[in-house]
Structure formats: structure tokens, C-alpha cells
Structure 1
Amino acid sequence: MPSRRRLVPQAQQALDQLKYEVAGQLGIQLPRDGYYGYLMTRDAGAIGGNMVRRMIMMAEQQLASRGQI
């Protein structure tokens, strides 16, 4: 079974910040203690999906600013 280690461990704080931003924009209250057992699957999927969209958008903007797109 493959390990799930992060390629950039320092990115954890930025990912957490993005998660809380996206959840706030969607009107979903996340527990600060880190236990998501009561979070509905639909809400977790919406947060993750929107995080991926925003990360793709940021990557595209960086590539466009470098003239690589």
C-alpha cells in the first residue's frame, strides 16, 4: 500500500487555510479541533472539489504570467 506523504510538507498550513476559506465561502462550518466525523460527505466533497478548482486556477495563472500557456 503506498504511503500518503506530502511532496512539500511545508504546504500543510497553506492547504488548511485554503480549506477554511473555501468552507467559509460555501457556508460550511468546520470544527477547529480537526474532527470531521460529523461533516456530511456532500459538504466534504464540495470543499475538496472547490479546493482543487482553486489550485488549478492558481497554477494556470502562474503559468500564464510566465508566458507558458
Structure 2
Amino acid sequence: MARNRHLVPQAGAALERFKMEAASEVGVTLKQGYNGDITARQAGSVGGQMVKKMIAQYENYIK
């Protein structure tokens, strides 16, 4: 059973904005709400872009 709950519930809106920003950077059009019509490749590219940005942000933080 999948559980897509945020550890910090107040962060939900910020994570959604972050996802939309990452999607636009890789050229994937997302809608608000359900996006089950996108391909696995598109979903993976959005997730990969999010991880890439999080790693870059952490690397800048530890410098």
C-alpha cells in the first residue's frame, strides 16, 4: 500500500510548486491534480530534475 504523505504537511504546496518548476525546465506539461496520462519517461525526467536540483542546492549549502 503506497503512502504519499509528507513528513511536514505544511510543505505540500512548496513541493507542488517545485515539481511544476522542474517539469517546465524539462519540457513536461503538468496539470494541477492527477497526471496519470504522462509517460513513465516524462515522469522520470521530472523526478530526476527534482533530485538534480536538490543535490545542487545541498552542495551549495555545505560549501
Scaled to the shorter chain, the TM-score interval is 0.7 to 0.9
Matched, 1:50 2:57: no
Return the structure number with greater relative CO, CA threshold 8 A, min gap 6. 2
Q: Which has the larger radius of gyration?
A: 1
RMSD over equivalenced CA pairs, Å: 1.8
CA distance in structure 2 between the aligned counterparts of 1:50 and 1:19, rounded to whole angstroms? 9
Check conservation: 2:22, 2:50, Cα contact below 8 A.
yes
- 1:67 corresponds in structure 2 to none
Give the alignment's TM-score, normalised by structure 2.
0.81
Q: What 5-or-longer segments of structure 2 have no aligned partner?
A: none
Unaligned runs of 5+ in 1: 65-69
TM-score between the two structures when normalised by the length of structure 1? 0.75
- Structure 1 stretches of 4+ with a deviation exceeding 3 A read 1-5
